[in-house]
Amino acid sequence: MPVIDLRSDTVTQPTAGMREAMLRAPVGDDVYGEDPTVIRLQAYLAQQLGFAQGLFVPSGTMSNLLGLMAHCERGDEYIVGQEAHTYKYEGGGAAVLGSIQPQPLQVEADGSLDLARVAAAIKPDDFHFARTRLLALENTMQSKVLPLSYLAEARKLTKAHGLQLHLDGARLYNAAVKQGVAPREITQYFDSVSVCLSKGLGAPIGSVLLGSEQLIGKARRLRKMVGGGMRQAGILAAAGLYALEHQVERLADDHANAAALASGLLELGYSVEPVQTNMVYVQMAERAPALKAFLAERGITISASERLRLVTHLDVSRADIEQVIEAFKAFAG
Ligand SMILES: *Cc1c(COP(=O)(O)O)cnc(C)c1O
C-alpha cells in the first residue's frame, strides 16, 4: 500500500530529474573550496537573494547556528520568538555552543514579533546586561507569511538600534510563491538568511547561509569547527540547484492542496485553522492518537499531536488529498 505521509515536507523523495542531476554533477573537495557544483549553488543563491556570498551546510540547524555565531560574540544576546525554530527546536545551540543569550518574546497570531515589544527588550549599554546584537525572524513562521511592510518596519527598527537582522528562511520560497514576489523582495531587508533545500523544495540534504563576505568568512571557519566541512558535496548541491531551478513554482500546488484539505475537513466539522501555505492545523485534542492509528491502517501517516499539523509536499497529490478527506470522514463516523 503506498503511503501518504503528511508529517512534514522533509519526507520527500528526490525526483528522477534530481537524481539524474546528482549523478552528473562535477565535484571536488569543498573544504579546499574546489567543488564546482557547490560553488555554483552558493553563487546562484547569493545572486538571486542579493548577498555577497553563500555557504552550503548540511542542515538548517547548522546554517542558523553559524549565522547566529557569526553575528554574535560570547555574552551577546539575540531577540527571537518563543516558538521560533532557532530558539525552541535546535537544542539551544546558540546558547550551548555560541554562549549567546536568547531573549525570547511571545509570537503574535500572525507569526510576527510585536516590534514595540522587540524595542522594549533591547537592553541599554550597561555592564549589568548582555549586549543585544541581533533580531532573528522566521518566514514562513509555522506556515504563516510575514507581510513585506512588516519586514520593512523590522529593518527600520534594527537599523535605528544598531542591531543585525537574521532570517530563518527555511521556507522562504513558500512565502515568496504565496506573495507572488521574487524571493529577493523578502531577503532585501536582512543581513543574513538561512534557506533550507530539504523542506518543500524537495532536496534530500542541505541548507545555505547567505550574508556579506565578512560574515560568510566567519561562518566558514565556524562550519569547519562544528564538523560541517564536507568534501565532494557537489552531489548534494546538485540536488539543491535542481530544486531551485525546477521545483519552486510547484510550491503553489502544495498550497492549493493544503487549502483543499482544510476546506474538506472544515466541511466535515473539524476545527481547522486558516491556511496560508503548505500546512493545515487541526484541533484533535485527545482524539489524536486514535486518529493516527485509524489513518495508519489506511496508508496515511500523521503525527499524534493534539494540535495536529498536516503538511503538503511534492509527494502528496490532489488525489491523495481526496483520499485523506475520505479517511477523516470515515473516522468522524
Ligand atoms: C526544519 C527547519 C529548520 C532546520 O532545518 P534542519 O535541516 O532540519 O536542521 C530551521 N528552521 C525552520 C523554520 C525549520 O522548519
| pLDDT of amino acid 2 | 82
- Span 96-122, pLDDT tens digits: 999 999 999 999 999 999 999 999 999
Quote the mean pLDDT of the chain. Answer: 97
The pTM (predicted TM-score) of the whole model is 0.97
Pocket test for ligand 1, best of 82, 85, 195 (most atoms within 8 A of CB): 85
CA distance 291 to 54: 43
The minimum-distance atom of ligand 1 relative to the CA of 141 is: 13
Segments in 168-317 forming alpha helices (H): 172-179, 183-187, 213-225, 234-246, 251-267, 288-296
- Work out the number of other CB atoms within 10 angstroms of the CB of residue 71: 25
- Which residues sit opposite 54 in a β-bridge? 210
Per-residue pLDDT for the chain (333 aa), expressed as one digit of tens each?
A: 789 999 999 999 999 999 999 999 999 999 999 999 999 999 999 999 999 999 999 999 999 999 999 999 999 999 999 999 999 999 999 999 999 999 999 999 999 999 999 999 999 999 999 999 999 999 999 999 999 999 999 999 999 999 999 999 999 999 999 999 999 999 999 999 999 999 999 999 999 999 999 999 999 999 999 999 999 999 999 999 999 999 999 999 999 999 999 999 999 999 999 999 999 999 999 999 999 999 999 999 999 899 999 999 999 999 999 999 999 999 987
Q: Which residue has the least CA distance to atom 15 on ligand 1?
A: 170
CA of 258 from ligand 1 middle (Å) equals 20
